[in-house]
Structure 1
Amino acid sequence: MSRGTSWRLALRLARRDALRNRGRSILVLVMIALPVLAVTAADVVIQTQDVNGVESLDRRMGSAADALVTVEAQGAPVIQFFDPWDGSGTTGDQGAGRPPTTEQLSAALGGARLVEMRRGDANVRTDDGVGYLAGTEVDLDDPLADGLFDLNAGRWPADTDEVVVNQAMLDQGYALGDVLDLTEDEAPAPTIVGIAESAELRTTPAAAGPIGSLGLGHREDDGYPPSWLAGGGPVSWEQVRAANALGATVVSRAVVTDPPSASELPDEMQGWGGSTDDQMVAVVVLVVAMALLEVVLLAGPAFAVTARRQSRTLALMAATGGTPAQSRRVVIGGGVVLGSVAALLGVVLGIGVAWLLLPVLQHWSNAWFGPFEVPWLHLVGIALFGLLSAVLAAVVPAWIASRQDVVAVLAGRRADKRPSLRSPILGVVLLGIGIAGSAYGATASSSGEFAIAGSAVIAVIGMIFLVPIVVVAVARLAGRLPLSPRYAARDAARHRTRTVPAVAAVAATVAGVVALGIAVTSDEAQNRETYRPELPAGMGSVSAYVDEGPVDWTQLRAAVADKLPDAHLVPVHGLIESSTDDAPSYWLEIKARDTDEPDRLLDSYGTSWGASTLVGESTLEDLPIEMTDADREAALRMLRAGGVVAFTDQGVETDHLQLDLHEYSPDSSDDDVTTLSVPAVMVPVALGNAGPQAILSTEAAKRLGAPTGVSGLVVSGPISRAQEEAVSEALAAADTSSSFYVERGYQTDNETMIVQLVLAALGGVLMLGGTLTATFLALSDARPDLATLSAVGASPRRRRWVAASYALVIGFVGAVLGAAVGFIPGVAITYPLTSGYSEATAGHYLDVPWLMILGLVVVLPLLTALIVGLTARSRLPLVARLD
């Protein structure tokens, strides 16, 4: 029989076997299709939410304009990539020339018609004070502006006293027909005549109207240079380069959609965008390898059971002259048939799941997703990944089936051969390599994460080779256990071809989750331990910057009191460092006395109390600055004596300090320095201090000539988040330079919380699903054994206990093995991950998520056993056994 004929026969037998055993086939399909479905859905969602340059054109310039022209260099020539979003820059001094006129720009673009468009930010009054909006000024009735906004209600503005706003602006308290209350001096007061959603912004408040309706003007200093929409025909790359020579960048629809050869880029930009991130490629390859291994292990028990069911057929084939290769092809053919169907099914369902998920995910995004995008080339690779996983999962069962004892199988004996010594030796070697690689990665100066990640894969593979020995050892240690778990452990060791892949699948899942869990929680522990609160927990502070004149603290205090009537407000007195444009600014430098190179007192300090240097004896009495009682008494005595209290996290000890007050004048590039030597008390603080650097006595501040005054307000707590937002808007209404901060201690960011939840959920689902599936497949294969139990008088309850015990053996042994192996890369990765870049963050941090590990190792195996015990069949047909 030729090889081609042999494969056709194998595939035909596999198809018939799959149809004959639909239940087992469905389980195999689920195990292979689920990962394919998940990866497909994730890929489609990522591709859809990722808006590339071509897809963003309608958002930037509308659907009708041929180009968007922006003057950024005040006449200096510029160079740009085909899409200036990918890169641009000047080739001369910015501002060296005059901005081009619209006539010059139109001529450079082949006589294009230009429609001016202004974009910028504006402040608008809200119910609680002042909020922010993104403004666009353009003639929305002009055909070139089509697509920038989508009108949902009302009408387009007809004059400069009318605007449209989006739903996010309505959520700030406005409605159709209201006047938009802009806060800038001499700002217009347009009426809202329509509700229109921006093509780009979804949750950011936005407004649009004719030129002048929002008072934006040309505000290059705010990062919004003048721009124009261009129409009249496609803009070529040559025309783009002509506009570049005038100092304008151009987003050309024709160029971005169909870019020229990279050789036509300016010499300075040759090679841009062509580099490959080798580290990213390494990570992708690692993730794919781990995912492939996971799917292979999950699908392995299914094909082991399939091969067991076909053992008599294969034995008859061998007895009549069939070769081992033909026997292997029959089992592998099952992987090809089921893998093909599962891959196709997973891709189709994944596209559907992504389509259903997009509206839900869009709710959590601040920007609009792009058009629904199905990356067919990616999905072909994902489908081939699923097929390859199925084939690889069938390879080991096929190899074992081709070497089975034909006589024993035809006689009805089913026990596996004794495990070979070569496998555990190889497993120990691979595990040792994994441990050594992890140790190297933990101490490597660079790229340690990649060495640890690669070693993790090697360690998991080594663990798989050790699973047969562990299963046999568990069976031998089970002699003192009750009947049901003892029977389950020994039966699992007797039929290792179905047990080993199931245990290995659970172990690999737990190892990955434990390793990532330790890494995430240790990184979080470092962030938590190195966090330095700026204020006592629950307390707030108000700060403001001197801009056009002195800060009106009375007005700011009234704004806070209006929103927090029960709060206690304390003014903070400090050194006023900032100033107006026509007045000097100051900076205080504090040095240890009588040293050629003064010791550094602090690694860092901040302005959490409104200033980096506080002033006045009442400061320690009014503000809850953290220090010991002894230090507080010494500090009070020093301040009353006219000295200085300085803070140090460097262990500096001295009784005198040198104060250098630097004065910077707007009319001079040099600074004047006033020096004063004063007695001092040093107060130790934690490394990474976020508080002030010192407290000057009133006398010392006067002798130094330092400008002092109210630098902030301290607000007693507790303060809710809603109150914090209301106070912030009220302060902005009183002074746009003011800000409000509430100390809430270290807060885990949303991304970290999501990662932790996903890890726990993913580990639980994979472990629970894999254990249940493998257990039910094993129980299906063990039906003759369970029938024998019934024949010798076992009750239905006993058979349920045996089924539950089998699930417990698979889940518990796999979880313990996985947790032990996962600790190796998990602990190792914490060294490069938590290594600090400064003295404040130096050190190694290790935080083991014991609760999650306890759930994986104890709770989930017990839950799996409970589910199996409740759902397993208790009454089975009697089947004769010869062994």
Structure 2
Amino acid sequence: MSAEEERAASAEEKRVASTPEGRAAGAPEAGVPHLNAFTAFTGRWAVLRAALRISRRDAWRAKGRTALIMVMIGLPVLVITALITGRATTDVTPYEQLDSTLGSADARLITFPTRGRVRQDVAARSIGQHKASRPDRQWTPAELGTLLDGRLLRYQQKTGEVRLPDGYDWVDVLEVDLRDPMTRGMRELVEGRFPAAPGEVAVSPALTGRGARIGGTLPVTRDNRPMRVVGVVQNPNRPGSAELTALPEAVLGHQNDGDNSGWLADTPGSVRRADVRRLNQAGLAVQSRALIERLPDDGESPVPAMSGSPTRGAVSLGVAIVLVVMETVLLAGPAFAVGLRRRRRELAVLAAQGASGRQLKAVVLADGLVLGGAAALMGMVLGIGAGALIASVGAPLLNWTHGPLDVPWPEVLAVAALGVVSGVTAALVPAVQASRQSPAQVLAGRAAVDPPGRAARPLLGLVLVVLGTGGCFAAARHDDLAVVISAVVLALGLIVLMPWLVRSTGRLAGRLPLPLRLSVRDAARHRVRTSSAAGAVMGATMAAVVLGLVAASAFAQREAERTSVEPLGTLTIRTWASTTDGQWSRLRVEAERLLPGVPLVPGAVAVNAEGKEVRLQGDRHPLHCAGPTKCLPPRWDGGGILPVGDERLLTFLLERHDPRAEAALARGSAVVIGSGMAHDGVVQLVAESWEGGEDERLTLPAVVAKAAEPAQTGALIPASALEKAGFTVVERHLYAAHVPADEARLQRALNTVASGVNISVERRGDEDALTVLLVLLGAAMVLVLGGTFAATGLAAADMRQDLDTMSAVGAAPRVRRLVVAAQAAYLSGLGAAVGLAGGAVGGAALIRWNWETGIHPGGHPQVVEIPWLFLAGLVVGLPLLAALVAGTFTRTRPARARRVA
């Protein structure tokens, strides 16, 4: 058959196939849409399967790189999942607390001192009542039986004092007959048995670690009533609580004051809403098992939500997601680039065999999908286990609430999906590079470099930087979330600018020493790799700088606003005026025994004509004060109370002898420390009773003495002036220039002598600043070193031929080390310097917002503290550390080159 005849036959076949008869006969139909779509789908699925298979095999061959990428992607997933799981497990709902609060009872009745109508939510977590002026008669089981059918079991719950080997301490007390079947599940019997007689108690494991033991005697209350320990029991939802359990009224006496006391009820049927409303009307709060079991969200009581906009919450979540993905992508990006550099020959062979750029891109993106998916899955599993472990270990040690393992699967799966997205996103830039590489150049053994000229257009980055900077300072007067969003925009702008910064700094390489010149030029040739690593360092440094500036300024502001009568480092031991003279004498002797060699200076308190202790405070006149905190406003912790004493206490407070002030004190004049409270030679005081009542006002002559330190302010009141005003003065304070190693232990020991002893130590307001800054520095170090070492490893691999050539011509091994160290120093140094600039902007804006929304704006000048050592450690110390580690562990022997025929 000739060629003309073959072409004619082919045309006839196509014509017949396009007719209805031909389609009915099964002839192939060319150009049908659904067949083309199916063919395209099967082709893409085949490409994806092949790409996934190639990625899986490559990941198994390069185990070190695979582990590095999985750690960078999986670690955030693990941490976030652990926090979510731990929070859900320790957030115990009313449904999960049913056994520990009700046992097997159907309801729990909570009594009040009065019979007023009770308002409560379904789970009785929020209870309110209009109380009468005096208590009503106590409830009786017979009276309750008229309101609710069923068997009743008395319970009482409050706190009480017990005497342990190290002194008195307050513990929880539960009084109920745990042998009764109605209490099954309220407490778990760990050892021994439940109390069966009024003189028996069971203790929690937290008390066994402090000296209580089965068979021993435990004194309870201030009467030191001996109770025999017969068992160890544990609260299933509070395994770390210090608790006693006993029969009703064995420790507490009869309680009818609403402090979680009442009856457990075993009823013939369920306690319904109508029953709860009837009991509320009678003056009882009710926890109903049937109602709590039907609560939504596994028993979560429907309480009013906290103030806050749902939109704000969604925006905050979006910002957090952007930050996590951005930092993960920047950290893992160089590691994916490592894989691309090592596989570029393999990809070039695929391209030479006909693979398209899209197919090469699919192979590299499959790396992100495979490694990101595996890392997310592993991080999710390990995060759930870590969250459960943290909750189970932290509950007994830190007295957390604890329930059954609760995994919020929607949130956990969303975090895992975020890890997969981060992996694919991190592989996106290397995938684009793979699709654009020249197979001929790669197969010829020439290293690939980034195309020139692409970094010379920094317009987008400059626009984002300007918008972010302006937004930070514009939002500083309004909203902290807007400041954070603006800071994120600024960070994105700096990341976009990073290739241009790399190229610009690369032009300065000619003036540098040889090792640094080689490193900078190599980094400039591979801008994508360098920019990603430097961007990761920049993000970590910027976040650390922002938090460091805000934290340091907040601590400095607290220290600037700190006021105290006592000088820094003063230990104050206080007790009530109702303490007897004998108890006070024994307390002084015990304090001298516990603080050997520490001089104790006595102080006094005032008692009014009604026998009530009063606290002396400055009558604040803002116009006459040197500052908003210099007139010692009342504080809940006892601060602001003016001391009463003689010349010994005056010398202690001033830390020197002042003859003029001592003479004035002897004449009955108050000695004002600093000039904040004195006005026209007098000081005005308010004597306020701790137990309530009408305040008394005093005006005393005063002299001003120079304070021992800037934060010191207040006045020392002489006992003679108070006695002339009709008050009684008794010694009940001790002062010492000493900071005890364990304040709680000292207080428990002193409480064995007299009840109500309180100790305090005057400390700096910025005492914890160093710890916070060290934690921030450690977190930044992990991120900075991780990104730097990943990029430095890639740079060393790319520069291997140059380094081998240097060694071949006689360069010493230390030169190779210096080149690699310089590469690490350049990457981390550039990122840290840019991060410092961005962090300074964000930190200043947040500090400004914090002051604009403060309690006393414009009163005390805003303190901006710059932690120079912290910033030097970030910007100088971490790059030097990265250079030192990279140079120390680099290989100095040349690699054997492959012979090419």
* TM-score scaled by length of structure 2: 0.83
Aligned to 2:877: 859
Q: Which of 785, 790, 794 is the equivalent residue of 1:768?
A: 785
Residue in structure 2 matched with residue 636 of structure 1 by the alignment: 662
CA distance in structure 1 between the partners assigned to 2:41 and 2:283 by the alignment: 69
1:380 Cα deviation after fit: 0.9
**Is 1:450 the equivalent of 2:481?**
yes
Query: Counterparts of 1:53 and 1:607 in 2: how far apart (Å)?
Result: 32
**Secondary structure at the counterpart of residue 181 of structure 1:** strand
TM superposition shift of 1:765: 1.4
Match of 2:280 in 1: 244
Task: Tell me, in whole angstroms, the C-alpha distance in 2 between the residues paired with 1:569 and 1:450.
Answer: 51
Q: Which residue of 1 aligns with 2:894?
A: 875
Work out whether 1:576 is the aligned partner of 2:607.
yes
How big is each residue's C-alpha offset from its partner over 1:180-201, in whole Å with a ceiling of 9 and x where there is no partner?
212345x853211122223344
Report the more deviating stretch, 848-857 or 340-349. 848-857
Identity, % of aligned positions = 31
In the aligned structure 2, how far is the partner of 1:413 from the partner of 1:8?
A: 31
Match of 1:124 in 2: 162
Of 318-327 and 160-169, more deviation after overlay is shown by: 318-327
Comparing 822-831 with 569-578, which one deviates more in the overlay? 569-578
Q: 2:551 is matched with which residue?
A: 520
**In the alignment, does 2:199 pair up with 1:157?**
no
Matched, 1:681 2:703: yes
Q: Between Structure 1 and Structure 2, whose CA radius of gyration is higher?
A: 2
Q: Check conservation: 1:541, 1:608, Cα contact below 8 A.
A: no
3-state DSSP class of the match of 1:826?
helix
Asked if 1:45 corresponds to 2:86, the answer is: yes
> Aligned in 2, Cα 1:721/1:483: closer, same or farther, shift over 3 Å?
closer
How far apart are residue 18 of structure 1 and its match? 4.2
* 1:265-288 Cα shifts (integer Å, max 9, x gaps): 9xxx99667975655544333222
Match of 1:830 in 2: 847
Task: For residue 389 of structure 1, report the CA deviation from its aligned partner.
Answer: 0.6
CA distance, structure 2, for counterparts of residue 410 and residue 454 of structure 1: 46
Aligned partners of 1:331 and 1:397 also within 8 Å: yes
Determine the C-alpha separation between the residues in 2 that align with 1:273 and 1:65. 32
Tell me which residue corresponds to 1:398. Answer: 431
Contact 1:124 1:181 in 2 (8 A): yes
Cα 1:303–1:94 change in 2 (3 A) is: farther
From 470, 473, 491, the equivalent of 1:460 is 491
CA RMSD, Structure 1 to Structure 2 (Å): 4.2
Cα distance in 2, alignment partners of residues 14 and 739 from structure 1? 68
Check whether the contact 1:11–1:333 (CA below 8 A) recurs between aligned residues.
no
Whether 2:53 is the aligned partner of 1:25: answer no
Query: Residue type matched to 2:591 in 1?
Result: V
Distance in 1 (CA, whole Å) between partners of 2:372 and 2:840 is 33
1:415 aligns with 2:446: no
* CA displacement at 1:842 relative to structure 2: 2.5
2:234 corresponds in structure 1 to 197
- 8 Å CA contact retained: 2:191, 2:233: yes
CA contact (8 A) 2:51 2:362 kept: no
Tell me the distance in 2 between the aligned counterparts of 1:154 and 1:862: 61
Supply the distance in 2 between the matched residues of 1:688 and 1:233 (Cα, whole angstroms): 69
Distance verdict in 2 for CA 1:626–1:286, change over 3 Å: farther
1:455 deviation in Å?
1.7
Aligned residue in 2 for 1:220? 257
Deviation, structure 1 residue 346: 2.0
Q: What letter is aligned with 2:873?
A: G
Query: Distance in 2 between the 1:283 and 1:611 partners?
Result: 40
Residue pair 1:100, 1:247 contacting (<8 A) in 2 also: no
- What SS does structure 2 have at the residue aligned with 1:176? coil
Q: Give the CA deviation at 1:297.
A: 0.8
- Taking structure 1 as reference, are residues 422 and 178 closer, same or farther at Cα in structure 2, changes over 3 Å only? same
- Alpha carbons of structure 1 residues 816 and 232: separation in structure 2 relative to 1, 3 Å: farther
Match of 1:346 in 2: 379
**1:570-609 to 2 correspondence within 5 Å?**
570-576=601-607, 580=611, 602-604=631-633
Take 1:203 and 1:782, find their aligned partners in 2: how far apart are those partners? 57
- 1:720 partnered with 2:758: no
1:246/1:570 Cα in 2 relative to 1: closer, same or farther (>3 Å)?
same
Deviations 1:518-568 (A, max 9, x none): 222222222333333453445433322245988953343334344345444
Partner of 2:291: 255
The answer for the alignment partner of 1:170 in structure 2 is: 208
The reply on whether 1:430 has 2:479 as its aligned counterpart is no
How far the C-alpha of 1:812 sits from its partner, in A, is 2.2
SS in 1 for 2:895: coil
Q: Distance in 1 between matches of 2:42 and 2:786?
A: 37
Alpha-carbon shift at residue 476 of structure 1 (Å): 1.9
What is residue 65 of structure 1 aligned with on the other side? Answer: 105
Report the Cα distance in structure 1 between the residues aligned to 2:529 and 2:899, rounded to whole angstroms. Answer: 21
Q: 1: CA distance between counterparts of 2:683 and 2:814?
A: 83
The residue identity in structure 2 corresponding to 1:713 is H
Cα deviation, residue 461, structure 1 = 0.8
**Relative to 1, partners in 2 of residues 1:485 and 1:615: Cα closer, same or farther, differing over 3 Å?**
closer
Please report how far the alpha carbon of residue 458 of structure 1 lies from its aligned counterpart in structure 2 after TM superposition. 1.1
Count of aligned pairs between the two proteins:
852
Residue 544 of structure 1 aligns to which amino acid in structure 2?
T
SS in 2 for 1:718: coil
SS of 2:887's partner is: helix
Report the more deviating stretch, 650-659 or 488-497.
650-659
Going from structure 1 to structure 2, the CA distance change for 1:259 and 1:872 (only over 3 Å counts) comes to same
Distance 2:609 2:190 in 1: 47
Counterpart-to-counterpart distance in 1, 2:812 and 2:698:
95
Following superposition, the deviation at residue 675 of structure 1 comes to 6.9
Matches within 5 A, 1:279-428: 279-308=312-341, 325-358=358-391, 360-362=393-395, 364-404=397-437, 412=446, 414-420=448-454, 423-428=457-462
Alignment partners' CA distance in 1, 2:588 and 2:316: 53
Aligned residue for 1:74, secondary structure, equals coil
Q: Quick one: distance in 1 between partners of 2:666 and 2:202?
A: 61
Aligned CA distance change for structure 1 residues 773 and 54 (closer, same or farther; 3 Å): farther
CA gap 1:182/1:270 in 2 versus in 1, 3 angstroms = closer
2:13 is aligned to: none
Question: Partner residue of 1:209?
Answer: 246
Deviation at 1:296? 0.9
Q: 1:35-88: CA deviations, max 9, x gaps?
A: 2222223322332233233223333233x2333221237322223222222x23
Taking a change above 3 Å as real, the CA distance of residues 329 and 558 of structure 1, as seen in their structure-2 partners, is: same
Name the SS for the 1:522 alignment partner. Answer: helix
Q: State the one-letter code of the partner of 1:391.
A: V
Larger displacement relative to structure 2 (787-796 or 242-251): 787-796
Which residue, 114, 117, 121 being the options, matches 1:77? 117
Q: Whole-Å Cα distance in 2 between the matches of residues 237 and 169 of structure 1? A: 40
| Alignment correspondent of 1:183 | 221
How far does residue 779 in structure 1 lie from its aligned partner after superposition? 3.1
Distance 2:836 2:684 in 1: 57
Aligned AA for 1:68?
Answer: R
Q: What amino acid maps onto 1:251 in structure 2?
A: Q
Partners of 1:270 and 1:363 in 2: CA distance: 28
Contact 1:129 1:733 in 2 (8 A): yes
1:302-346 CA-to-partner distances (Å, cap 9, x unmatched) read 333444556567667778887655554343233223222222122
* Structure 1 SS opposite 2:191: strand
Tell me the TM-score normalised to structure 1 length: 0.85
- Pair 1:695 & 2:735 matched: no
Residue 301 of structure 1 and its aligned partner are, at CA, apart by 1.7
2-structure distance, mates of 1:274, 1:828 = 25
